[in-house]
């Protein structure tokens, strides 16, 4: 079995921050070529510089189908093809249902569920042309086991798991594998927003920590290792799975 990524061409959405950026860094270290796709142009430029100029920057909002099609075509041209997609772009929303605005519900589903679909749809011809490939959707433990005040987020994250399973059937005959990772609490800007605005942030963070058997917050690199496993030949017989990387909360 090989975990080499030499020559593999990745497009990573949400690549300017957190888990997506950690995946990009590890993939580059292991010899891959990387397209970083993100809607935040400034963060994208900083991230690309932090990677030593080895990544291609693709400024794109994953909810805009035309922009996604253009970004994928651009990536294929600049990387010389595409072998691996990682859908890590995502947003959180903490709101009891009765306080949630229609626009917030729509945006969470658009970014966390429709976005991965748009990227997969645009990338499939390129993966096929490469003779096969991998797709990893970054879902969440919240897609396996619910969390309070997160109806939209949980629904979108459960949706992207089942979207991937259905696509895994469709794409298998083309040598394309589709899997999900379901992170727990990972120290990223998105995660920090879940407790920093609480009346007592330290207590809120402690309450989150207590949900996990391992009772700690993980680093983005710990999720990146799982994403790269599912993007490598080491997982050659794995498709349609949802791999919990959550220190023991969902026990999936």
Ligand X SMILES: NC(=O)c1ccc[n+]([C@@H]2O[C@H](COP(=O)([O-])OP(=O)(O)OC[C@H]3O[C@@H](n4cnc5c(N)ncnc54)[C@H](O)[C@@H]3O)[C@@H](O)[C@H]2O)c1
* Integer Cα distance of 125 and 73 in angstroms: 10
Q: Of 23, 124, 186, 224, which one interacts with ligand X (CB under 6 A)?
A: 186
Residue 138 contacts ligand X per CB under 6 A: yes
- Residue 11 or 185: the one with the smaller Cβ distance to ligand X is 185
Residue 10 pairs in a beta bridge with 34, 84
Q: For residues 130 and 167, which CB has a smaller minimum distance to ligand X in the complex?
A: 167
Minimal distance, residue 103 CB to ligand X, in Å: 14
Q: Which residues pair with 139 in a beta bridge?
A: none
Q: How far is the CB of 175 from ligand X (least distance, A)?
A: 26
223: left (phi over 0), alpha (psi -120 to 50) or beta: alpha
Choose, by CB under 6 A, the member of 5, 33, 38, 212 that binds ligand X: 38
Query: Residue 79, CB half-sphere, CA atoms under 13 Å: how many?
Result: 31
89 belongs to the binding site for ligand X (CB under 6 A)? yes
Binding piece for ligand X, criterion CB under 6 A, among 98-106, 169-177, 178-186, 199-207: 178-186
Is residue 40 close enough to count as binding ligand X by CB under 6 A?
yes
- Least distance (Å) between residue 13 CB and ligand X: 6
31 belongs to the binding site for ligand X (CB under 6 A): no
- Contact with ligand X (CB under 6 A) among 190, 198, 204, 238: 190
> Do 187 and 220 meet the contact criterion of CB atoms below 8 Å apart?
yes
How many other C-beta atoms can be found within 10 angstroms of the C-beta atom of residue 42?
10
Shortest distance, position 245 Cβ to ligand X, whole Å: 9
Q: Is 74 in the site for ligand X (CB under 6 A)?
A: no
For 174-208, give one letter per residue: b (16+ CB within 10 A) or e. eebbbbbbbbbbbebeebeebbeeeeeeeeebeeb
**Residue nearer to ligand X on the CB measure, 165 or 194:** 194
Report the distance separating Cα 108 and Cα 88, nearest Å: 14
The secondary structure of 187-210 as a DSSP string is -SHHHHHHHHTSSSHHHHHHHHHH
Distance of closest approach, residue 233 Cβ to ligand X, in angstroms? 24
Give min distance, CB of 82 to ligand X, in A: 17
At 67 the three-state DSSP class reads: helix
**DSSP per-residue codes, 113-129:** IIHHHHHHHHHHHHHHH
Question: Among 87-95, 96-104, 126-134, 233-241, which window interacts with ligand X (CB under 6 A)?
Answer: 87-95
Q: Counting contacts by CB under 6 A, is residue 250 touching ligand X?
A: no
Nearer to ligand X, 133 or 141 (CB): 141
User: Which parts of this chain interact with ligand X (CB under 6 A)?
Assistant: 13-14, 16-20, 38-40, 43, 61-63, 88-91, 111, 115, 138, 140, 183, 185-186, 188-191
């Amino acid at each position: 079995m090989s975990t080499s990524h030499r020559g593999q061409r990745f497009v990573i959405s949400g690549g300017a921050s957190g888990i997506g950026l950690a995946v990009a860094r590890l993939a580059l270290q292991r010899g891959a070529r990387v397209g970083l796709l993100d809607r935040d142009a400034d963060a994208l430029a900083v991230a690309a510089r932090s990677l030593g100029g080895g990544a291609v920057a693709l400024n794109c909002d994953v909810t805009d189908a035309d922009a996604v099609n253009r970004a994928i075509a651009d990536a294929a041209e600049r990387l010389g093809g595409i072998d691996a997609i990682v859908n890590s772009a995502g947003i959180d929303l903490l709101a009891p249902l009765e306080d949630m605005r229609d626009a917030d519900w729509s945006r969470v589903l658009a970014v966390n569920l429709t976005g991965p679909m748009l990227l997969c749809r645009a990338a499939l011809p390129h993966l096929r042309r490469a003779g096969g490939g991998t797709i990893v959707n970054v879902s969440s433990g919240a897609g396996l086991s619910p969390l309070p005040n997160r109806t939209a987020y949980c629904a979108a994250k459960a949706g992207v798991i089942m979207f991937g399973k259905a696509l895994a059937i469709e794409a298998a005959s083309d040598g394309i594998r589709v899997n999900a990772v379901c992170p727990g609490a990972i120290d990223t800007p998105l995660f920090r927003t879940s407790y920093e605005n609480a009346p007592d942030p330290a207590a809120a963070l402690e309450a989150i920590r207590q949900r996990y058997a391992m009772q700690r917050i993980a680093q983005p690199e710990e999720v990146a290792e799982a994403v790269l496993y599912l993007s490598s030949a080491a997982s050659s017989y794995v498709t349609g799975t949802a791999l919990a990387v959550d220190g023991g909360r969902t026990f999936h």
